[in-house]
Structure 1
Amino acid sequence: MKNRHPLLDRQVELEISGKVAPIRGKLIEFGQDILVIHNGTQFLYIPLIHLQQLRASTREEEVIFEVPEMPFEPYNEPISYRKILMNAKGMFSEIYITGNQSIHGYLTTVMNDFFVFYSPVYHTVIISLHHLKYLIPYNPNVTPYTLTPEQFPLKPSPLTLARTFDQQLRKLIGEFVVLDLGENSNKIGVLKSVDQSMIELATASGNAVILHFDHVKTVHIP
C-alpha cells in the first residue's frame, strides 16, 4: 500500500521552474517522480524534478469542484513519469517546456531520456525528459486548433531516432536546427559539433555559439 501524501485531495499551490505564477488546484496523485494536479478544468502532470515549493492553498475554502476520472492511470501500479508518458502517446496534449508558450500536439515516441512530440506549429520536436515542466492531456474528441485528421495527420517522425538525447543531437550535426523553440536567436543555426558537454552552433551571422548540453531543452528542424 502506497504512503498517502499529507496534502493529497487538498487544494494546493505549487511553484515550478520557469513559471512565475504558482499553479493551483487539487492534489490528485503524488508519485515517486511525478505529481498530478486538477485545476478545475484540466489535469496537470508535473515531474517532481521541477517542483520548487508545494503548500496547502490559503484559498482552499473558495475553490470547490468535482474532479472527473483521470484520462489515464497505471492501475494497480505506482504512478511514474515514464508510465504517464507512455500512456499519453497518441493523445492530444499540451506541454510546457520553456518561455511563455506551450506546445500543442501529440506525443509519439518515448526513448531513454527524451521523447518526440509532433506539433502543427513546430512539427517534430525532440524534448529532453529533464526539461518537461508539465503535461496536460485533452479530451479524446478535442484536436489541435480544431484541425481535422486530414488537415493534421499524425505522422511518424522523419528522423532516425537514437536511444539518448546526446546521441540524437550527434545525428543532427550538419543540420539547420532550432533549439529551445527559437526563444533566442543564438539558439538557431547549423549544428557544428557535440563535444562532450558542449554544443557548437553557427548562427545567422556565421559566428560560433557554444552551449552547454544540459541546458538544451528541445531541438527541431524547421
Structure 2
Amino acid sequence: MKTYLNQSVSLTVSGNRFPVKGTLIDLGDDILVLHNGTQFLYVPLVHIEQLTRAHALEANFGVPSEPPLDPATDLSYRKVLLNAKGMFSELYISGNQTVHGYVTSIMNDFFVFYSPMFRSLYVSMQHLKLLVPYDPHMTPYALDQEKFPIHPTTASLARTFDQQLRKYENEFVILDLGKHPEKIGLLKSVRNNLLELVTADGSSTFIHLNHVKTIHKP
C-alpha cells in the first residue's frame, strides 16, 4: 500500500455501509491515516476489507493541513490512542453509529472513552473502525468546559477487556451502545469468553466476548 501514499484512495471498512475516501497520508503496521479534505481519519488495518485507488472524478481532496495528532516516527494504533488522550474525537464503532468525547485511559486491549451521552464507555480495541480527532479548540456539542469537564473514571481499571467486564457482574449494563434491546440487562456472569445477560423479560442471552464492542453503565 506504500505505493498509494499521498494519493487518493477508497476504503471499504467492515461494518460501514459507505466507502471511506481521502488522501492516504501515512501508513503503519496496524493503522493508516487518511485526509478527506476536512478531517484526518485513523483507520485500523484489521477493519479494511479493500483499498483501491479513488476514481479520477473523486481524487481531489485538497492539500492537507497539519494533523491534529503529533506524527509518530513509527505509526501504530496504540500510539495514535496515546496521542488522542484528552483530545475531542469522534469514534466509529458499529456501522455508521458514532460517539463523541475523549479518550481518557488505554489498557491492554481496550480503552476508556468519556462522552456527554455515555459517560465512561469501555471500548474493545478490536472493534474501533475509525478515529477522527477534532480541532483542539472544539468541544462536544459546543458545550462549555465547565458544563462538560473531562472526568476520567475513578474506578479501578483491569488490564484486559474480559477482566473489566467481570467487574460488572451482577450489575445493570448496556452493551454495544444499547443498539439492540437484547444487549441491555443484568450481567450475570463472564466465563470462558461467554457473557450471560439477563434481559428485560427475565430470560438469559449468551454473547461471545469477541462480539462485544462496548460496555457502559447507564
Specify the code of the residue in structure 2 equivalent to 1:116.
V
TM-score between the two structures when normalised by the length of structure 2 = 0.97
Matched, 1:211 2:201: no
Structure 1 match to 2:76: 80
Q: Which residue of structure 2 aligns with residue 37 of structure 1?
A: 34
Matched, 1:69 2:69: no
Per the alignment, do residues 73 and 29 of structure 1 end up closer, same or farther by CA in structure 2, a change over 3 Å counting? Answer: same
Q: Unaligned 5+ residue runs, structure 1? A: none
Confirm or deny: 8 A CA contact 1:96 1:135 kept in the other structure. Answer: yes
Q: Deviations over 1:169-208 (max 9, x none)?
A: 0111011000000110000001000111110000011110
Partner of 2:145: 149
Is it true that 1:139 corresponds to 2:135 in the alignment?
A: yes
Code of the residue aligned with 1:7 in structure 2: it is: Y
Deviation, 1:74, is 4.0
Once residues 101 and 31 of structure 1 are traced to their aligned partners in structure 2, the CA distance between those partners, rounded to angstroms, is 26
Residue in structure 2 matched with residue 173 of structure 1 by the alignment: 169
Alignment CA distance shift 1:5-1:62 (3 Å): closer
Find the aligned partners of 1:197 and 1:115 in 2 and give their Cα distance.
Answer: 19
The answer to whether the 8 Å contact 2:43/2:130 transfers is yes
C-alpha contact 2:11 2:50 (8 A) present in aligned 1: yes
CA contact (8 A) 1:73 1:79 kept: no
Displacement of 1:63 in angstroms is 1.4
The code of the aligned residue for 2:49 comes to Q
The answer to whether the 8 Å contact 2:69/2:133 transfers is no
The amino acid that maps onto 2:168 is L
Within 5 Å, give how 1:1-222 maps onto structure 2. Answer: 5-59=2-56, 62-75=59-72, 77-222=73-218
Q: 1:73 offset after TM fit, Å?
A: 3.1
Distance in 2 between residues matched to 1:69 and 1:196, nearest whole Å: 45
The answer to whether the 8 Å contact 2:88/2:139 transfers is yes
Distance 1:96-1:84 versus aligned 2 partners, 3 A rule: same
Letter aligned with residue 194 of structure 2: M
Q: Distance in 2 between matches of 1:74 and 1:43?
A: 12
4+ residue segments displaced more than 3 Å: none
* Structure 1 pair 63–17 and aligned structure 2 pair: CA distance change class (3 A): same
Q: 1:119 to 1:61 in 2, by over 3 A?
A: closer
Deviation of 1:59 after TM superposition, in Å, equals 2.8
Letter paired with 1:195: R
SS at match of 1:201: strand
Report the CA distance between 1:159 and its aligned residue: 2.6
Instruction: Give deviations 1:70-115, integer Å, cap 9, x for gaps.
Output: 112344x210000000000000000010143200000000000000
Q: Give 3-state SS (helix, strand or coil) of 2:94's partner.
A: coil
Separation of aligned partners in 1, 2:121 and 2:59: 39
User: How far apart are the structure 1 equivalents of 2:209 and 2:39?
Assistant: 33
- Contact 2:5 2:24 (C-alpha < 8 Å) held by counterparts: yes
The residue matched to 1:36 in structure 2 has which SS? strand
